[in-house]
Amino acid sequence: MELGFVGLGAMGRPMAEHLQRAGHRLHLWARRPESLAPFADSGAVVHATPAALAAATEVAFTIITASADVEQVALGTGGFIEGARPGWVHVDMSTIAPGTTRRIAAALAERGAAMLDAPVSGGSTAAEAGTVAMMVGGDAAVLERVRPLLGCFARAIVHVGDNGAGEVAKACNQMVMVAAIQACAEALQLAKAHGVDPAKVREALMGGSASSRMLDVMGDRMLRRDFAAGIEARLHHKDFGILMDEAARLGAPLPIAAQVWQQLNALMSLGGAHDDTSSLLRVLENASGRSPGA
């Protein structure tokens, strides 16, 4: 198939490569020309605008950071909507506000085109391996049409509901995941405050009911103080901004998420935006006045 792709970052690049290896021809657009470099000799077609990309493709994928950026690519001047036509599909894998997704979907529907909000979980490691988890909002029949494409890089694809439902599910995913990272940081900090070996505490917890993927992966990073970004903390901070805005709009009480958001705010103020979210441990260390080795 002729497939479009916008957003060739840490996750987008390997996902686009999986599609290409499956035999599809890629059509690309990027704001930063350097993002296109990995595809220079791959046979991919580069377009001057998202509109031109849409006109040349059957399905186009996006995975971009911010709600406003996705909306600009889809509906702005020179955007997808100018090249969309009946049957064309936009699959957005970004983590953005549900309301933005619904606006884009409604505008494309007026052209006879469709949109799926299909945010992904698993980070760049899963993107490289082709094993991301995907939560999808939109028409079930459209999802079935593109499911073979999604299967090129996703191990789990769940249809959650109508447009926006995928983004709601992703917000829930982020709440549970980052709250667990914060809990891991607090547990290791408490162990240290008692003078008990945090590594032994983690080992003990991994054998009990507190065992989790976050304690396994993020707890290990905290112990090794390896805060090089797996997923940059600024992205989780952005996600929490979205979900807290939604909570305020809906009047939905999210007390634990609100506390975690404040910890992410503190991490941003400490200059940790581009570090891994496991560096939430540093916020606790800073608050306690204890040095890492204390």
Catalytically active residues are 170
The backbone torsions φ and ψ at residue 62, rounded to the nearest 5 degrees and listed phi first, read -130, 145
Residue whose C-alpha is closest to residue 267's, from 194, 188, 181, 172:
181
Angle between helices 213-224 and 198-206 (to 10 degrees): 170
Residues in contact with 200: Cβ distance below 8 Å, sequence separation at least 6, in sequence order: none
CB atoms within 10 A of CB 177: 19
Whether 74 contacts 81, CB under 8 Å: yes
How many Å separate Cα 130 from the centre of its chain? 15
Q: How many residues does the chain have?
A: 294
| Residues in contact with 81: Cβ distance below 8 Å, sequence separation at least 6, in sequence order | 51, 54, 74, 75, 107, 108, 111, 113
Beta-ladder partners of 121: 133
Question: For the chain, first and last CA: distance in Å?
Answer: 58
Closest CA to 92 of 5, 159, 216: 5
Contact 13, 57 (CB under 8 A): no
